[in-house]
Amino acid sequence: MEKEKMELDLLLTAVYRLTGYDFRQYMRSSLLRRVQNRLSREKLLTITGLTERIIHDENVLNKLLRDFSINVTEMFRDPSFFKTFREEAVPFLRKLPEIRIWHAGCSTGEEAYSMAIMLEEEGLAHKAKIYATDMNDIVLEKAAAGVIPLQKMQSYTKNYLAAGGNRSFSEYYTADSNGAVLNPSLLKNIVFAQHNLVTDRSFNEFHVIICRNVLIYFNLELQQQVYELFNESLSSGGFLGLGSKETIRSDSVYFENFNSQEKIFRKKSSDSY
């Protein structure tokens, strides 16, 4: 076990030295599963063997980077979160002259699409800009294309209705041989860009940050680093939405509960800390 931990440390250091992507503060149990899967696919016996392979084979290095990227998502995931956000947070956003939203760790874009639909239905799309970022350039390409496999649309429709959707979900896409193609009007206010929560810094001031089911893969030190990044990036009173298994400590300097059940928080005013 100790040797395996040392091997994994060396692998992650090699990845960082080779690419600049830093996974050294990710939860080791999650990374180890992905490494073991890559060992099996490459027919390698040891993590040290994989370290040697990625140093000399860029193709395998890129495969490992994709393995480490978390790409589990769906439209209106956890519908009660979106329903609560619509009913309780949107009234505050309605008062703003413009709305900037950051979806951090957006994967293939489904939650950013969901936000765009909600803003359209609430009459706020004209003054909103959504910035959807991920460290993985391949999933960002998929996200920017706005095409969803048709077999997913039935469950997404159920999510949409449970999240408080008030139109026919089929209005938002057309079906063709490639899948469900989202309406260009939904995509026009979304900017997809590469950003690494571990190594990159704040790039704008936002009224909302959505980062759901990403921080569970980070250790406590890295989680705190990301919370500081979000604090730097949110305007006073701005909203932070986390995943169902994530939370912020009750003694947080930066954030206070807005809806604890749905893991929605607000940034405290600067004079309160």
As a whole number of angstroms, the distance between CA 163 and CA 248 comes to 24
Find the mean pLDDT for residues 187-207: 96
The SS3 call for residue 76 is coil
Average of per-residue pLDDT across 79-99: 98
Asked if 73 and 111 count as a contact pair (C-beta separation under 8 A), the reply is: yes
Q: Where are the domains of the chain?
A: 2-68, 79-272
169: nearest Cα among 180, 181, 157: 157
Segment 35-55, tens digit of pLDDT: 999 999 999 999 999 999 999
What's the whole-number average pLDDT of the chain? Answer: 94
CATH of domain 79-272: 3.40.50.150
To the nearest 10°, the Cα dihedral for 256, 260, 263, 268? -10
Report the alpha-carbon distance of residue 242 to residue 232 in Å, rounded.
17
The amino acid that residue 157 corresponds to is T
Distances (CA, A) of 121 to 118, 151, 184, 186: 5, 25, 16, 11
The winner for highest mean pLDDT among 18-27, 63-72, 151-160, 242-251 is 151-160
- Residue 273: pLDDT band by 50, 70, 90 thresholds? very low
Nearest to 38 by CA among 3, 62, 19: 62
pLDDT, position 249: 82
The mean per-residue pLDDT over the stretch 116-139 comes to 96
Per-residue pLDDT for 271 more than 60? no
